[in-house]
Chain A
């Protein structure tokens, strides 16, 4: 699968979500984690049990 993540990052929205107060550390908008290969996400999706939603039953909550 060709992951099109980069295509999705169209910056039409203010990129600095909430300005930090003075004195605090800078405000990155992306997590400081190493970026896994995009194929990792496909692998993650392929690991999902196809029957998980069918089996999933919950108590009614609020």
Chain B
């Protein structure tokens, strides 16, 4: 199995002169400002089922935020999210760009390497910003786009992670094994936030580690919009359901730092792999929802957690439990994993010794230092409105105005990829995953695509309707398949080669080899 990963980022959108009830319409306009020559649509929503719970049941409905619902009135765009309003665009790099309830959302293509994933995440920033620029040119309205997760007034929006896992691992085992990790990884994955949005419960602090910690109210559930869980149980594998599941992680912050993104995703992938093979950390955190909030707000940076067995343990030691197991398993893995293990360990060491050493790599530290220096220099107070506005500006993806962008231009933050990597990712899909098939079809034959999803591309091909089903294109053999497909000179050859690969897979399975892929080419 390929250990596929992906990121879905909902961007904050501010259009001068527009109120929240107009944002669904404006977000669609921003997405439709994507002005590259090719994209594919429509997205086939019939294949999605967000109410299916990985614990084996369906919920009747997903909870909606009652405060947010006030912005919906009958007949408004958000009250009926039509295909036109969602404005799905599948891009030649295999990514998906669309309007998710008032937020331009960019979902990276499926990646295997961290470097590739980071490049595609950064490519998303540039693509969304180019949309905003085109929207501004067309409308004359000033737009701000923020890669963050809160409006500071109680509305949150996500940066979700997707990790392909084997179906054979029981979901309860995932919940038990991942929970202590998700609660504590905010120490390096948090993007930092000025203020709190649920005051009075765990203390009002001027600055906390995480943008999202305020918004979790249950440990696990299928909901994502309201009463959010630390662990989301949505069962949408986007791969053969009998073999695979997708761990849909909604508790993370959107990171500006490439290093933080690589560390967050890389360590989570390692932990998922360990849990998949039956390993458990052997601890349980007492009241995870309360604990993630307390950790995020701890002004002393002591970061202690209470365990179910009554012990108190430093959060860094919780993370070291995971690190030590990963070191014992993956010490001789590929160079990327070796880098990840070193980075993980040195980050935990620095958090223990002096978190400020991480100001060039971890978002909450970088932003805090920036704000502290402004406060000191300008003689303002943490509670003054400018400080929260500076927090927002840190996340602006406008290269001229964004504060993180300014740090990056100064060379004050670590890079994981080069600008050239990002430019390439804006136009090209990863070459070793099924995203290559999707992106290449979008690039070469967009007119032939009649419907598209992560795992299927429906083509209107001559007199026929052909569906290329890639539900099982998640194995180690995918790079070889891609090489075969890359030799096709036209759509006929492409489809025929795809069929041949399907047929050869069947004969391999019949010959007793390791099962490869169960894609069904329907024509």
Contacts and interface: CB of A to CB of B under 8 A. Distances in A.
A28 B158 CA distance: 31
A16 to B, nearest CB: 8
| Best-surrounded residue of A14, A47, A55 (most CB of chain B within 10 A) | A14
A52 B408 CA distance: 23
B350 A13 contact: yes
Interface in B236-273: 250, 258-259, 262
B389 A49 contact: yes
B155 A45 contact: no
Given A3-B373, A61-B101, A61-B158, A41 B406 contact: yes
Contacts of B373: 1, 3-4
Nearest to B341: A14
Contacts, number: 196
Contacts of B14: 52, 55-56
Interface string B139-173: 00000100000111101111010000000000000
A17 B385 contact: no
B477 interface: no
Contact of B346 (A13, A41, A49): A13
Contact of B415 (A5, A17, A35): A17
Contact of B157 (A13, A29, A42, A61): A61
Q: Which of A40, A41, A56 has the most B CB atoms < 10 Å from its CB?
A: A56
Interface stretch (B18-26, B442-450, B494-502): B18-26
Interface stretch (B90-98, B353-361, B463-471): B353-361
A36 B385 contact: no
A30 to B, nearest CB: 4
A30 B357 CA distance: 17
B157 A62 contact: yes
Interface residues of A, number: 47
B349 interface: yes
B399 to A, nearest CB: 10
A11 B298 CA distance: 26
Given A17-B343, A56-B151, A62 B100 contact: yes
Interface residues of B, number: 84
Contacts of B67: 60
Interface string B96-116: 000011110000000001110
Interface string A21-51: 0000101111111011010111011011111
B218 interface: no
A58 B411 contact: no
Interface of B: 10, 12-14, 19-20, 23-24, 65, 67-68, 71, 78, 100-103, 113-115, 144, 150-153, 155-158, 160, 194, 224-226, 250, 258-259, 262, 335-336, 339, 342-343, 346-347, 349-350, 356-361, 369-370, 373-374, 376-378, 384-386, 388-393, 401, 403, 406-412, 414-416, 418-420
Interface of A: 1, 3-5, 8-10, 12-19, 25, 27-33, 35-36, 38, 40-42, 44-45, 47-62
Given A18-B339, A60-B225, A62-B101, 18 more contacts: A5-B410, A8-B369, A12-B350, A14-B342, A17-B258, A17-B343, A17-B415, A29-B414, A38-B410, A41-B410, A44-B393, A53-B152, A54-B389, A58-B13, A59-B157, A60-B156, A62-B10, A62-B225
